[in-house]
């Protein structure tokens, strides 16, 4: 009996079942060539053949492979590397702060998820959903520097490649979110969807400036802002030693009662700035607490997106 690959733990059976009832629709104009879900600003297709896939209503019959039809009596479309409804780039924050595992975090297989593990599962689920609706997906992992950049592709094998990369990524290091955003905005040439999965622990003002760059390049931008419930509510009462997850040398003994009001005020201001400025840029800003199961949070978002 074949053993299930370890990277498939990022895509549990119950998640796949949930995704089967969902759909991701682009809201802006996308540079794809399959007629169907997403609006395209032009027509045409790549000349580089990639693989076959089964025909679905709405496909251009000019791409039908008549030889395969003659041999098998089945309808297959010749698919090209650039042939896709939508190109999505998932940007996953792998900095040290994403390693935080809250006591109130949702559990999976009896283990509470860290923010990074939560992000891994969200990215895996979105990859599966988009590839199965014949879209293309790419992956970016980053901390203060670019860890890995995988351009968007629509091949079914892309699911395995992205899940393997997510599984092999270990969070750690400082954060330099604006620099990474500017870098990736220049790398993605065809307009598409950019999904950012991060705790956004950086300057809110600089992050917003960098998000402008994606909008200037005509991308649709979605920000999934992942924070642990403890980071949102600061429920600590007793004298505690707080450690900087992005700098292992920094650890401070603190009486949380003396800081709670100031901390919550700063968090509220930080979140409000991000939400308000994203709204001005017509960027979807979705705050998510790791206390909510990731599949429920994703299903809730995708359902609301269709309304």
* Tokens at 267, concatenated: 């968090």
pLDDT at 73: 80
pLDDT for res 42: 40
Contact present, 168 and 9 (Cβ < 8 Å): no
Assigned token pair, 183: 């870098």
Q: How far apart are CA 72 and CA 138, in angstroms?
A: 33
CATH 3.30.470.20 fits 87-305, yes or no: no
CB neighbours of 110 closer than 8 A, spacing ≥ 6? none
Q: CA 41, 92, 281 angle in degrees (round to 5)? A: 50
Distance between CA 246 and CA 263 in Å, rounded?
A: 19
Question: What integer pLDDT is reported at residue 46 of this predicted model?
Answer: 46
Query: What are the extents of the domains in the chain?
Result: 49-80, 87-305
Note if the pTM is more than 0.75: yes
Tell which residue, 117, 60, 69, has the closest CA to residue 92: 117
- Please give the average pLDDT of every successive group of 10 residues along the chain, which has 307 residues: 83 90 76 47 48 70 78 75 76 96 94 98 97 95 96 94 97 93 94 96 96 96 97 82 66 77 94 98 98 96 87
Q: Which position has the token pair 């299930």?
A: 4
């Amino acid at each position: 009996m074949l053993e299930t690959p370890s990277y498939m733990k990022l895509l549990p059976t119950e998640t796949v079942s949930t995704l089967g009832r969902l759909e991701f629709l682009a809201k802006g104009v996308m540079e794809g060539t399959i007629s169907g879900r997403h609006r395209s600003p032009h027509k045409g297709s790549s000349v580089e053949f990639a693989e076959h896939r089964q025909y679905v209503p709405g496909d251009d019959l000019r791409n039908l492979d008549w030889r395969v039809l003659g041999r098998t009596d089945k309808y297959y479309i010749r698919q090209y590397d650039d042939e896709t409804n939508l190109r999505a780039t998932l940007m996953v924050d792998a900095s040290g702060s994403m390693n935080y595992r809250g006591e109130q975090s949702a559990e999976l297989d009896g283990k509470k998820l860290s923010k990074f593990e939560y992000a891994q599962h969200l990215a895996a689920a979105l990859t599966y959903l988009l590839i199965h609706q014949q879209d293309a997906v790419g992956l970016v992992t980053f901390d203060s520097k670019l860890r890995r950049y995988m351009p968007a592709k629509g091949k079914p094998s892309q699911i395995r490649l992205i899940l393997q990369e997510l599984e092999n990524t270990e969070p750690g290091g400082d954060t330099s979110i604006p620099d990474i955003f500017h870098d990736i905005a220049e790398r993605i040439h065809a307009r598409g969807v950019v999904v950012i999965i991060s705790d956004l622990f950086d300057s809110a003002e600089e992050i917003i400036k960098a998000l402008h760059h994606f909008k200037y390049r005509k991308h649709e931008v979605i920000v999934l802002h992942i924070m642990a419930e403890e980071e949102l509510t600061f429920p600590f009462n007793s004298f505690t030693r707080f450690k900087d997850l992005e700098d292992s040398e920094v650890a401070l003994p603190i009486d949380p009662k003396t800081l709670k009001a100031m901390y919550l005020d700063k968090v509220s201001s930080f979140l409000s700035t991000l939400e308000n400025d994203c709204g001005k840029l017509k960027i979807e800003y979705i705050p998510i607490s790791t206390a909510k199961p990731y599949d429920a949070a994703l299903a809730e978002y995708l359902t609301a997106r269709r309304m």
